[in-house]
Amino acid sequence: MNFYQQAASILDRLSQQKGTIKGLTLGDNKIKDKKKMYAIVCETLKYKEAINNIMDASKLLTIEKKLPRSMALVLVHDLLFTKRGIQSSDGPLKQAVMRHKARLKAELVKYKIKVGAKSDEDLVSQKVKDAVLIPRYVRVNAHKTNVEKAILAFIKEGYTYEDPCTDLSSLPKKTVRRDRHLNDLLVLPTNSDLHDHPMYLSGELILQDKASCFPAHVCNPPRGAHIIDACAAPGNKTSHLSALVGNTGRIFAFDLDMRRLDLLKRLTTKAGCKNITPIHGSFLEVDPHDPAYAEVEYLLLDPSCSGSGIISRLDHLVDDGNLAEFQIAVIKHAMKFPKAKKVVYSTCSIHPQENEHVVTTILSSTSEFVLGPRSETIPTWERRGLIKECNDDADIADCVVRTSPTEDYTNGFFVACFMRKDETAPKEDDSVLKRKAESNEASPKKSKKKKKNKKKANKQPPTITNEANGE
Ligand SMILES: C[S@@+](CC[C@H](N)C(=O)[O-])C[C@H]1O[C@@H](n2cnc3c(N)ncnc32)[C@H](O)[C@@H]1O
């Protein structure tokens, strides 16, 4: 397979959700020049929307019937958006594109006028442009240091400490500040590269997006707790949980992907975690009545999702799939653990199908769990669920958290916290939510749904993974 065929095949596998960009390019030993392959795949995805429009307007694929769209995407990318153009034009597919060179270039000019683009860069997907605006969030790892010491270390290096601010759009260079919502998080300017920083190399600092730090805080387990992290790798939330319980209790960290679980072992060891038991396998196949998990009260579920909220990576530019069935199955399985009292669900997706819809489906299928109140779910965070997507129920929406990649200076994210009814009872006896869950139980329509979901839950787990947070 030549270079362009390999690139086209990667685009196809990405759209079938058979892996991540990094996994399919940098992780494939059959690819000779991995960096070059990574670059062409990323660049093509950045301009994908523009290239598709230009190809459709030029009728390229209608005329050249043997040219697959993915192959055309990479070839047209090189033709229109690189100085070198298509590298060597032998081979029938390359020639097929070259025959339309003049028309494609003319359509590019027309497209730019149509969308008001002054340069090629203006055609880059909005999500990619937004990525440059996200500050550098740094979680301070309590196993190794504390926030005060970390700030002092930055000051010694010439950073200025500033008060938390609301305007995160343009943080001055070499400044460090505490986060306004999370007490173990620091905020540095966009593009601060800390990958070679001594505090990162020693495991004192974890490079983790703000929103992905929400789930462990919502879980908020006490010292000594037994916890399951059901879809754990590469393990940033696992090491966060470990830090919150001060290396006490036990954390069972499951992951289906051995390679990613190995990464979890490396990262959590580097972070100084001593209470984690990594387990290779599907969480859906774990027996909730296994005595090993008899004391598990807290479960953190961060299952594979479309990754549509991640703007610092390009995987979101691939067409999204529907992973809701799998996500629902994971939550239902977690609720079967006999002592489970808190089940925290999160995604790095902005799609209601993977977020609010999953929550309402679960609420209508359980008589034992309700949504934890806002006070359990980062109460100071203003952006809550989308009311319309919660069956117009403002109470449900208020209990869950959303982050918006374009407005909150974080990746797009979603968190919900289910609690066993007895756990919310003292504070929440009159909670509207509780009453709602009870009325759901009584609804015959809902019990039908219950059966349907049970069927769905038996389906194969999806193979897609995304590498959110594994920075
Ligand atoms: C979004 S990632 C988790 C990120 C992780 N929580 C973190 O913060 O570093 C989802 C993970 O779920 C894993 N996964 C998918 N299906 C699974 C299953 N049935 N059981 C356990 N893990 C699964 C994937 O391999 C992937 O590593």
Break the chain into its structural domains and give their ranges. Answer: 3-124, 130-207, 212-457
Q: Name the residue with the closest Cα to ligand 1, atom 1.
A: 304
Q: How confident is the model at residue 121 (pLDDT cuts 50, 70, 90)?
A: confident
Q: Does pLDDT of 451 surpass 60?
A: no
Q: Which sequence positions are flagged as catalytic? A: 348
The verdict on the CB of residue 304 being under 6 Å from ligand 1 is yes
Q: What count of Cα atoms within 13 Å lies in the side-chain half-sphere of residue 434?
A: 15
The pLDDT, as a whole number, for residue 442 is 41
451 has binding-site annotation: no
Tokens coding 27 = 């992780």
The pLDDT, as a whole number, for residue 21 is 81
Query: Of 22 and 462, which is predicted with more confidence?
Result: 22
Contact between 238 and 276 under an 8 Å Cβ cutoff? The reply is yes
Q: Name the residue with the closest Cα to ligand 1, atom 11.
A: 231
What are the Cα distances from residue 102, in Å, to 51, 80, 97, 469?
Answer: 15, 10, 10, 43
Q: How confident is the model at residue 279 (pLDDT cuts 50, 70, 90)?
A: very high
**Chain segment 359-387, per-residue pLDDT in tens:** 999 999 999 999 999 999 999 999 999 99
The pLDDT, as a whole number, for residue 278 is 98
Ligand 1 centre distance from Cα of residue 461 (Å): 11
Q: How confident is the model at residue 89 (pLDDT cuts 50, 70, 90)?
A: low
294 has binding-site annotation: no
Q: What is the dihedral of CA 434, 370, 292, 323, to 10 degrees?
A: 160
Rounded to an integer, the average pLDDT of 214-232 is: 98
Contact between 143 and 251 under an 8 Å Cβ cutoff? The reply is no
Give the three-state DSSP class for 384.
Answer: strand
Q: Name the residue with the closest Cα to ligand 1, atom 24.
A: 465
Tokens coding 118 = 């002054």
Beta strands in 326-412 (DSSP E): 342-347, 369-371, 401-403
Q: Select, from the ranges 100-104, 190-194, 457-461, the one with the highest average predicted confidence (pLDDT).
A: 100-104
The verdict on the CB of residue 6 being under 6 Å from ligand 1 is no
Ligand 1 centre distance from Cα of residue 149 (Å): 33
Tokens coding 306 = 């479309």
Q: Name the residue with the closest Cα to ligand 1, atom 10.
A: 304
Query: Of 278 and 84, which is predicted with more confidence?
Result: 278
What are the Cα distances from residue 112, in Å, to 65, 258, 311, 317, 435?
Answer: 26, 45, 24, 20, 55
Ligand 1 centre distance from Cα of residue 253 (Å): 10
Rounded to an integer, the average pLDDT of 300-312 is: 79
- CATH code assigned to 130-207: 3.30.70.1170
The verdict on the CB of residue 237 being under 6 Å from ligand 1 is yes
What percentage of the chain reaches a pLDDT higher than 70?
A: 84
Ligand 1 centre distance from Cα of residue 257 (Å): 8
Ligand 1 centre distance from Cα of residue 316 (Å): 17
Give the three-state DSSP class for 278.
Answer: strand
If you compute the radius of gyration of the chain from its CA atoms, what whole number of angstroms results? Answer: 24
Q: Any idea what DSSP says for residue 205? A: E
Whole-number mean pLDDT of the chain? 87
The verdict on the CB of residue 228 being under 6 Å from ligand 1 is no
What are the Cα distances from residue 396, in Å, to 197, 354, 355, 434?
Answer: 42, 15, 12, 10
**Chain segment 159-205, per-residue pLDDT in tens:** 999 988 778 888 899 999 999 999 999 999 987 889 899 999 999 99
Phi, psi of 275 (to 5 degrees): -115, 20
Residues 433, 423: Cα–Cα separation, whole Å: 14
Query: Of 21 and 239, which is predicted with more confidence?
Result: 239
The verdict on the CB of residue 282 being under 6 Å from ligand 1 is yes
Q: Does pLDDT of 319 surpass 70?
A: no
Q: What is the largest CA-CA distance in the chain?
A: 74
- CA angle at residue 318 from 315 to 322, to 5 degrees? 100
ipTM: 0.99
CATH architecture of 212-457: 3-Layer(aba) Sandwich (3.40)
The two counts, helices (H) then strands (E), for the chain are: 20, 13
The verdict on the CB of residue 254 being under 6 Å from ligand 1 is yes
Tokens coding 112 = 């730019």
237 has binding-site annotation: yes
The verdict on the CB of residue 307 being under 6 Å from ligand 1 is no
Residue 215 CA: which ligand 1 atom is closest? Answer: 8
334 has binding-site annotation: no
417 has binding-site annotation: no
The pLDDT, as a whole number, for residue 318 is 54
pTM greater than 0.90 (yes/no): no
CB atoms within 10 A of CB 220: 16
The pLDDT, as a whole number, for residue 456 is 39
The verdict on the CB of residue 466 being under 6 Å from ligand 1 is yes
Which of 91-100, 403-412, 442-451 is least confident? 442-451
Rounded to an integer, the average pLDDT of 310-324 is: 59
Phi, psi of 51 (to 5 degrees): -65, -45
What percentage of the chain reaches a pLDDT higher than 90?
A: 68
The pLDDT, as a whole number, for residue 314 is 56
